[in-house]
Amino acid sequence: MDFYGGCVMPESVSIEKQIKELREKIEYHSRKYYVEDSPEISDYDYDKMFYELLRLEEEHPEFFDPNSPTHRVGGAALEKFEKIEHSYPLKSLSDVFSFEELSDFISKMKSEHPDVDFSLECKIDGLSVALHYEGGELIYAATRGDGLVGELVTENVRTIGSVPLKIPYKGVLEVRGEVYMPKSSFERVNAEREENGEALFANPRNAAAGSLRQLDSRIAASRGLDIFIFNLQYCDKSFVTHSETFDFMRENGFKVIPYAEVLSKYSDIVDYISSVGEKREGLPFDIDGMVLKVNSLPLRQEIGEGSSTPKWAVAYKFPPEEKQTRLLGIDIQIGRTGVLTPIANLDPVRLAGTTVSRATLHNIDFIRERDIRVGATVTVRKAGDIIPEIVSAKDTEGLPVFEFPTVCPACGEKVSRGDEAAIRCTNSACPAQLRRNLVHFASKGAMDIEGLGPAVADALCDKGLVKNVSDIYYLTIEDLVAIERMGEKSAKNLLQAIENSKTRGLARLLYALGIGQIGDKTAESLASVYSDIEDFFALDAEKLTEIDDIGSVVSLCVTEFFAHPSTRETVDRLKAVGVVTESAKKEKKDDRFAGITFVLTGTLPTLTRSEAEEIIISHGGKTSSSVSKKTGIVLAGSEAGSKLAKAEQLGITVIDEQQFRKMLEN
């Protein structure tokens, strides 16, 4: 028994009080550390409190609270993300790419509303989410999705230290923010992935998006994500200006977006954008522009909204930074499908926040068009602030013209070039392709061998256990336990996954083999016409072009692949261990879509692309990856791109998911 307020208090009440007080203290100090950047206690003292709370919660599960700070470390993995319809749409913004375009927007606003002022804010390069609170507690968090329907990522968002799990305001409140990965976290995560032999994230935005959509919240917690809040989506309290909502959100513990000013004059706005742009490289987070919004909330309502973007705001996108440096050499990199890609070795140069020493040269045509030569001075930029590319070259006089190799640098086989720009090695047993081929062969959309990731693939190759993808079906338990950090249980699980993969069928096998230009959709098209892999050894390129969506480039890649002796050996070894090399017959429901070729584009509200394709095929239809005159219907979701535009240009029927479902009725 404990004494409290002069009375004897039951132990359960005392424990509950301790837990409540610890939660409040930890949340207070989390805010001081993550939001205000002014910690009041040491990490050691914070950790002591945290682990004491963790211990008490484990011993007393009756006091469970989903918004306890202990949930920031993550919990049990989800099976999938649930969809949720946004109560308040999360719209995107119209982009402008020059100060002239920005001036046009401001002039238009001022011609109709002379006294208008604007909120100017950083455009964080991350993933947009909505956080919904009721009664002072975080109820759910959802990704933007298509703006109308998103995915519930509450467990992952709870792991972000700067997200308040409880707030002083007790009414209904929804805010919108941008989840991002700080540059320091990005560097740490990529260093860990490189050490583990995993593929590196291309940039912090991709890393943030991938981390927030992890089904296991413990992985999300380990990635060091952060968030900036930039909009009050809804509150049952009224405000006059956007800047007032910022003050309100700060008071409630939200980490509001930095570098936000309220300005009116065009010259002041340009000066502010320029000053932030100059600081951009030194910021601890990535920004790709500045957002200009009308500050008055009543005026926003008067100006109105477009179908997908508000009329009262634009996003100014920073132009890509360019630097000059010297081209030291050109290496040839061999990709998974055998394509030989020239890579520029550069005198290191700082560009858009990172040091760039290598850049893609795409292909021989790219090099010839720009007259790129070793020793020249080249202008480098990051395309979309992500991929380094060479824009131009100068000082090339007297320097030797680059000659592309005629044989594969890795295996010595002759390389070939069809109707495409790419030059490729068609030897499926090429050692330079093996590691990437193994990972692709085992990937989810291919043979789906759980446990055979980049690190295991590297180990198998390093030990000489696998020299061809077919070798994985001949591995033994003794082979696998000899791999570092591979226990007997993991080895048995991997062998079982390999065994399970034998029945995936012809379409997935064709995709898994890594044939140039053959994606999963093209593989399905091939397998729907030719039901046995043996058929492909006898086909010529002209015959293949008779199939919908198979052009001369694809047909040449297929025939060259199956003409190579190493392919014959691979297929024979796969068949010998029982890998299914024939098409599985799919159950057909009816023929309502017979003779109709569908093309899918964008993100559908409730169906995945593969689910929609399966429905179409089960009703006698076909699917294609590209729009042509043969296309019957385009099924379009949100963020549909060039395929939708081409369909409209050709006068092809375009439907959404709701219309598609009506076609399935009866």
Please, which pLDDT band fits residue 424 given cuts at 50, 70 and 90? confident
- Length, in residues, of the chain: 666
pLDDT tier at 68, thresholds 50, 70, 90: confident
Q: What is the pLDDT of residue 416?
A: 81
Residue in this structure with the two tokens 């069809």, named with its chain if needed:
418
Lowest-confidence region among 76-80, 273-277, 435-439, 644-648 = 76-80
Mean pLDDT of the chain: 85
**Backbone phi, then psi, for 316, in 5-degree steps?**
-85, 120
Provide the phi-psi class of 595: left if phi over 0, else alpha when psi is between -120 and 50, else beta: left
> Which residues are tagged catalytic?
123
- Stretch among 288-297, 377-386, 388-397, 429-438 having the lowest mean pLDDT: 377-386
384 pLDDT higher than 60: no
Find the range with the poorest average confidence among 82-96, 308-322, 346-360. Answer: 346-360
pTM: 0.55
Q: What is the pLDDT of residue 282?
A: 82
Which are the contacts of 277, defined by CB distance < 8 A and separation ≥ 6? 318
pLDDT of residue 9: 45
CA gap 202, 286 in Å, rounded: 13
| Sign of the torsion angle spanned by Cα atoms 59, 60, 61, 64 | negative
pLDDT for 258 beyond 90: no
Say what the pLDDT of residue 514 is.
Answer: 86
Distances (CA, A) of 493 to 287, 459, 472, 486, 499: 43, 17, 14, 11, 10
What is the model's pLDDT at position 197? 59
Tokens found for residue 484: 């570092």
Between the alpha carbon of residue 318 and those of residues 41, 354, 454, the distances in Å are 40, 16, 36
Is residue 259 very low, low, confident or very high in pLDDT (cuts 50, 70, 90)? confident
- Per-residue pLDDT at 243 exceeds 70: yes
pLDDT recorded at residue 2: 43
Per-residue pLDDT of 111-137, as tens digits, reads 999 999 999 999 998 899 999 999 999
Give the rounded percent of residues in the chain with a pLDDT score beyond 70: 91
Least confident segment among 29-33, 81-85, 92-96 = 29-33
In whole angstroms, give the CA distance from residue 264 to residue 438.
Answer: 58
Q: Which two tokens stand for residue 624?
A: 């294609």
Cβ 141 vs Cβ 317: under 8 Å: no
pLDDT for 5? 38
63-67, 72-76, 148-152, 497-501, range with greatest mean pLDDT: 497-501
Q: How far apart are CA 235 and CA 171, in angstroms?
A: 7
CA distance 544 to 554: 9
Q: Give the pLDDT band (50/70/90) at residue 417.
A: confident
Domains of the chain: 2-64 (1.10.287.610), 94-317 (3.30.470.30), 322-404 (2.40.50.140), 431-576 (1.10.150.20), 597-663 (3.40.50.10190)
Please tell me the predicted confidence (pLDDT) of residue 586: 61
The arithmetic mean of pLDDT across residues 648-662, rounded, is 89
Q: Is the per-residue pLDDT at 548 higher than 70?
A: no
* Listed range (174-178, 494-498, 566-570, 588-592) with the worst mean pLDDT: 588-592
CA dihedral sign of residues 610, 642, 309, 246: positive
The predicted structure's pLDDT at residue 262 = 95
The two counts, helices (H) then strands (E), for the chain are: 23, 24
Check whether 7 has a pLDDT greater than 50.
no
The secondary structure of 92-143, three-state, reads CCEEECCHHHHHHHHHHHHHHCCCCCEEEEEEECCEEEEEEEECCEEEEEEE
Question: Would you state the pLDDT for residue 78?
Answer: 60
Mean pLDDT over 586-610 rounds to 83
Provide mean pLDDT across the span 130-148: 91
Which of 53-67, 160-174, 316-330 has maximum average pLDDT?
160-174
